[in-house]
Each structure stands twice: as C-alpha cells, then as structure tokens.
Amino acid sequence: MPDSTSLAWSWNTRKQPVNPYAVDAPARKPSALAVWIALYEQDKSDQREQAEAMSRAAEEYLFSVAHCDPWHYDELNDALIEKAKRHAELHRVDPLTLIRDDVASLPGFLRKPLETRIKYLEKSEDPRHLPTYLNEVITPSLVRIDKVRANQASLSFQAMAGRDSLDQLLRLAELNQREVKRLSTLVAAHINMIFIQLCGEMLTDELASPIVILELYRRVAAEVSRLDVIPPGYEALRSKHNRRNPINYELIPGALARMRCADWWQRKLWQLRNEWREELLRAACLVHRHASPYVSHDILLQKREQRRKAMDFFRNHDLINEDGDTLSMEDVVLASASNPAHRRNEMMACVKGLELIAEMRGDCAMFYTITCPSKYHATLMNGKPNPTWDHSTVRKSSDYLVDTFAAFRKAMHKKELRWYGVRVAEPHHDGTVHWHLLCFMRKKHRRAITELLRRFAIREDRAELGNNTGARFKSKLIDPRKGTPASYIAKYVSKNIDGRGLGDTVSKETGKSLRDSAEHVTAWASLHRVQQFRFFGIPGRQAYRELRLFASQATRAMKTSKPGAPVLMDPKLDAVLAAADVGCFATYIMKQGGVLVPRKNYLIHTAYEPTVEPGTYGDHGIRIYGIWSPITGKENKICTHVHTWKMVKKAPANPGAESAAQGDPVAPWTRVNNCPEVKKRTNQHPGSPPLMTVPDEREEPEQFEIGQLTREQRKQVLGGIHTHKQQRHKSPADEFEALAYSITVGDCTEYDTRRAESYLKAAQEIRRREQVLSPEIAGLAGLVQSWAKMKKVLISKPQTLQLARGNEVTVLDTVYRAHPVTGELLVTGVDIHWRKTLAKHKADTLINRWRQAAREV
C-alpha cells in the first residue's frame, strides 16, 4: 500500500518492525548538577512570569483609561442592574430561591451544613420536604443569625474593631487558628500603644504613687473590656463602695503584662471565637437531637484533636525534681483526678459517704430537676426553631441557674432550713443547661424546702407554665425499697464523665447511646466552662486528697513502725488522717466535724503558699503546700508537696537522631555510610578551605550518655544549647565549590577532574547571576529607596536590592514587599516574635519600678 493512500483509521499506518536482536541503549539519567540547574532555572522562570503578570496588572490599572471613562461605568452599572432585575424576577416567580441565595451568603461554617441538608432534601421523593424546611427552619434561622451577630458585636466592640488593622474582629467567628493568632498580635500591640500613651500622660514623676498606677490599670482594663474580655484581676482591683479587703497593688504589674501579651490575647480571642461560633450554630438549628446533640460537630472535632495533642505532649515529656528523680508525665496525668475513671470513682465514693451519713442521721433523700425557662432554649425537640428564644447563650442559662440557687439558699437560711448533697449540671439536646440535685435533709424540713425551691424555680416567666410546673421543676422522694441515693445519681455521674457502666442505654432526649454521648457532654462543658459537679454542706474534697497523699508518704517513711501506729500526735487529727487513708468518706466527714458545719470549724484545712519562682508575667502564683489545723495553728503546716517538679522533654528513642539534628558527628545506625562526599574525604588540598576540624586529644569534648546525666552535666549541656549559634546559610555556589575541592583532593581520575570542573563552572555561573544588576532592577531599587524615605522605613542597600528582585524583607517587626512597577513598599505581614519583643522591651523597666513601688507601699 503506497504511503500516499489515505487511511480509514490512524492505527492502519505502517509501523517499524521489531528487531529481536537489537539492544536498546539504556536511558541516561540526568546528573545531579543538571537537575539542580534545571530547578534553579525553573524557579527563576516562575518568578519572572509572576513579576511580568504583576507588572501587566499594575500597568493596566495605572495607565488604562477604562476606569476613568464614564461610558464604561455606565455599562458596568447597566450590567449590574440587569443582573439584579433577573434575580428579582426569579425571586418573584420562585420565592424559595431568595432563601437559598441568603444561605449562600452565609459564612462557610454555616453555609456548608445547611446546603448539605438542602441538597439532601432535593433528592427526597416527597417534594414538600424542601419547601417546608426552607420556610419553617431556614427562614427563621436567618433572622436569628442576624440578631445573634448583633448581640455579639456590641457598639463598644464595633468601635474597637474600627481601629487600624483590627477590622478582622468583626469576622472573629469565621477565623481559623492562624488568623486568630495574627489578630491577637495586633490587639496586643494596640493595647500596648494605649498603655505607653497613658504612661506618658499620667506618670510624670520618677516614682509614681500606687493610686496613679491603679488608675492607669483601670483605664487600660476599660479598653480591654470593650472586646468582651474580662481583664485580669478585675474583681480585686475595680472600684467598689463596699470593699471589705484592701486593694492588693502587687496584682497590677502582672495584670498589665497579661493585657499586653499576644499569647494571653490569643487564648482569650480563641475562646471567644469558639463561643461565638457555637452560638451561631445554635441559632442556625445545627445543635439539637436530630443533628448534633449538646454541642456542634465542629467543636466536637476540635476538642477531640485538642485531647489528642495533649496526650502526645504528655507522652513526650517527663517531670524531674531537684534530686534528679524522673516521672513520666503521662503516668502522672493518668494517676491523677484528670483520669475520667479516677474522677468517677471518687465522685461515687463521696456520694456513698453522704448516703451512709444520711442513714446514720435519719435524714431523707430528695432528687430535684431544675430547668431554665423557655426563652433560654434555642431549638425545640423536633429540631425547629423555638419562637420564644430571646437569643440567650448557654452561659446565660448557666448563670440563671446559679443566681436562682443563690437566692434560694439565702431564703432557706433565713428560715433556718439546712440541707447537704451534690448537684450535677448537664445539657439539654440544644446545649441549654439544667440541674439535677441529690439532697439530704431532715424529714420535717422536706416539704418546706421542696416548696421553697419550687417557688424560686418557676418564678421567672411564670405565665408560660400554667398549672403544669413539671416542665420547669420536678421533685422525687427516694424510696430505699426501690433504690439507694447513690444508684439514682450514678447514671448522671457516669454519662457526664466517660459513660462507663451504661452499656447500650439510650437517652430519651437524644435517642442515642449515653456512652457515646459522654464525649459530647465533656466537650460542651469544656467549651462553655460549666462546672459539672458541686458538693455542698460537707468538708472540702481537696483536704481529703491531701490527707491520702500524706498518709502514703508517712507509710513509706515509717516502714519500721508498727502497723496502725499513730502518725499525728493529736488523736483527733490522726483519726481524720486514718479515715482518709482507708478511703471511707463518711468517716472522714464525721471526724472532720460532720455535715452542715461552718468551714472554719473543720479540723483540717488545705494549706496554700505563693510559688517560689515567678511565672511568665513576673507574678507569684498560689500552689498547694499541704495541710494545717486550727488546733496546731498555721505556723505548723505539714508539707505534702516536698519536691519542685519541672517539665523536660523526653530523650528520643534513637539517641543518634537528636545528635544528628544538632549537627554532631554520630555513628550511623545503618550498615551503609550515606554521608556526602564532602564528609567522606579527610585529606584536604593546601589551597582548599577547611572542611572539617578534628580536635586533638586535649580539646576532645566530654562524652555524655543521654538519660544518665548528672545535674552539672545537664547544666553544661543546656548551656551549650543556649550559646550555640546557627551557621550562616551558604549559597549554592559554595556547595558546588566544596564538592569540587573534595573530589580533587588526593588521587583522582580523569572523570573526577571533569566532574569537578563542571561543578566549578556551575558555581561561577551562579555567582555571576547573583551579582548581575540589570538596569530594570537598579531603577526599581531607586524607587524603593525613595518610597522608604517617604514612609520613614530604615532599609539598607542590600535590602533595597532584595525588594527590587521581588523578595520580602523584614524590618524590625514588619514584613515588606515592593510593588514591581512603582516600587511602593507594601506591608505583607508582621514578625510576631519581634513585635512581642519590642512591645515588652518598652515597658519592662516601668513595670519593674511599679513592682518595687508596690512592695514599698
């Protein structure tokens, strides 16, 4: 078939026959130098294309007359008007499209779950589901979202957000963790500027009086309060007419240091962001029994990741004391009350102790349930919006119950009624708080206490209840024939901690397993800072823990003593210690003095003391010291925390990995030496630069074995780490020259010589390109220098050239980039560490003077 004949199909073309005796030449791999140069050229090409694109965009914006043409503006306006008309007509024909457009304008964390639900209903067989959902759920939810936003961003908050670079505060709920960190730096810098300005106005004398310093603190705290953040030390330092205790001026330096710290602001803003986000999700009906009970799915995943990171942190750190004793931080955490299993066991032991005391005293047990009014509930049981919700937050519902209980307690004491017990705070399906109380009281006081508590529980919005008060208040007398008080409260204790022992029990409110819902409950309590359990009318449990710790220490110290020998000289105190040691909480309460006794009359109290070393902000915190008794006086305290423990990072499992990361020569952990050639060669050419310095026997450093260091060796190692200086970053040309010198040292083949010559040529080419200054770069550098003088930014000539080449340069705490056409300096970011250092340096001297003045007062 001739070649000119047209073929019906492309695969009909003649192919080259296969020769079975031919041997294909092996593909030649490009050398490392070629790959390196190709990548280098590719980077340069990408940078050049990016600069050209930016130049074209700037040229179009600066020199185009289209934006100055009124006819062009008229065309744009006409297009927008036509688009608006089409949307208006579409909304008139199908009103549901307006609702969907409103949903599309919401932030991503609200829009995505709502659109997912809408798309699911679109595929439903019943066409009535989607219109019903849009009209009955989405439409009121959009109104609720707008009102919640208005409540969150108060007028003072909006005024604060109107400052320079703080406009992101209005989008706080939409920010991620990195954006919140940057925003916290800007807020801290703003507060620091106000602080410095007030110092210049108010502190004219060399040594200011404490009254002036207190007034300065209150002004800075007022600025912080505008962001809905409670300033540190506010309750102790704010002005009060009926103040009982004198003002502690030593709190002022630490409080001011916190308000000027970016890390402190990051924690506060991140907490505020999560609370705002959760309330918006509640307003959108995304937190209820049919969606995500108790807490949103977003917060649940966040808390789960937070716990995972915390456990990884505990696994990678140890605790070491001044004697060199080391404990695994993970073991310490799991052995403490932070372990859910230990927390649950301690709770049930305390409840059992109350039950035994009630039996001994002949008291009756009552179980109460108190619920918030309807205006605190965001969502109905069917998942639809509650029309009576007044946009109250979860925190407000908790505060309502706390205030109601405080008012009831005052009224009860006026009538000389007393009770003791425990209360449990847990969420409804939409996150609203309600309380369960297990209370013990005299039988003759039961009716009076129940009626008084009912009156306080239903007094707010009484009209909505009618004759049925069960929706707000329930009471039940515990019958010993049906179950003990501990059995009544056990389910509520377990499902609010870890769900242990509940099996496959299903919640009547959410329809889900109680054991699976425990994670939701703990995430809810952590987010909204709700105290889940509270005992009242009994001695403190912290003294109980300290006594058990002291008993174990005494047992180890008195190994040779007779078993059961007294530990404390006073028989009453030793009886309390023995009761705590055996774990009988009922005996512990009775030996302490019994229930319903004023706190000051207990025999043993927890002792506290200031910390020896100051914290991050220069103030001394309060830590547990041990126990003390009014019988022996505060001067005879018993220390249960003898050692001071510090947190240190664990040594790596592979000792060579840590040393290799620090650049030290270590033995390889494989059979092959994978070091580059520059380190394989030990001989050097006389004219070559030194590649490695081998110390002689007199300079050989001491070799330490990781994990078995003494205190002096540990100090020496840490000192070397702190004084270690990072090596200067080398140019690629330096690397090529070093490789060429290492190859030509000693005997080398012709191939090695050619390879070294190619390395030297590559290094020469790289240096030539680095030193070439084109006319365009030189002209742009001049424009950059002019802009720097105009904006009063101090930059050097090398920094000017870097900016002209399109790179970013950091000057003090600000990162700049130059416009590729005009050379204008543009701010692209901030250096957080430098900004924190500068802000701290400006006021450290003044803070130290204030601290000295506070001590003298």
Token pair listed for 663: 């650049």
Sign, CA torsion 609/614/617/619 = positive
Of 648, 646, 647, 651, nearest to 707 by C-alpha is 651
Buried b (16+ CB within 10 A) or exposed e, 825-856: beeeebbbeebbeebbeebeebbebbbebbee
Picking from 115, 110, 90, 85, the residue whose alpha carbon sits closest to that of residue 100 is: 115
The catalytically annotated residue of 488, 617, 741, 816 is 488
Q: For residue 534, give the amino acid letter.
A: R
Closest of 92, 91, 93 to residue 102, by C-alpha:
91
Is 741 among the catalytic positions? no
Q: Which amino acid is at 226?
A: R
Beta carbons of 427 and 538 less than 8 angstroms apart: no
Q: Exposed/middle/buried for 815, CB within 10 Å: 0-12, 13-18, 19+?
A: middle
Spatial contact of 424 and 405, defined as CB atoms under 8 Å apart:
no
Residue 312, CA distances (Å) to 205, 298, 306, 341, 574 in order: 51, 21, 10, 20, 41
Which residues touch 85 (CB under 8 Å, ≥6 apart)?
Answer: none
Q: How far apart are CA 66 and CA 72, in angstroms?
A: 6
Return the HEC string of 72-114: HHHHHHHHHHHHHHHHHHHHHHCCHHHHHHHHHCCCHHHHHHH
Angle, vertex CA 647, rays to CA 554 and CA 666, nearest 5: 125
Report the 10 Å Cβ neighbour count for 575: 18
Question: What single DSSP character describes residue 727?
Answer: P
Q: What are the φ/ψ torsions at residue 827 (nearest 5 degrees)? A: -85, 120
State how far the Cα of 482 lies from the Cα of 736, in Å rounded to an integer. Answer: 86
Residue whose tokens read 């030194």? 690
What are 154's strand-pairing partners? none
Angle between helices 585-592 and 571-582 in degrees, nearest 10: 160
Nearest Cα to Cα of residue 262 among 851, 737, 836: 836
Contact predicate 271/261, CB 8 Å: no
Residue 734: CB atoms within 10 Å: 15
Active-site annotation holder among 492, 617, 759, 816: 492
CA distance 353 to 443: 19
Residue 492 falls in the annotated catalytic set? yes
Identify residue 101 by its one-letter amino acid code. Answer: D
Rounded CA-CA distance 835/838 in Å is 5
List residues with catalytic annotation.
488, 492
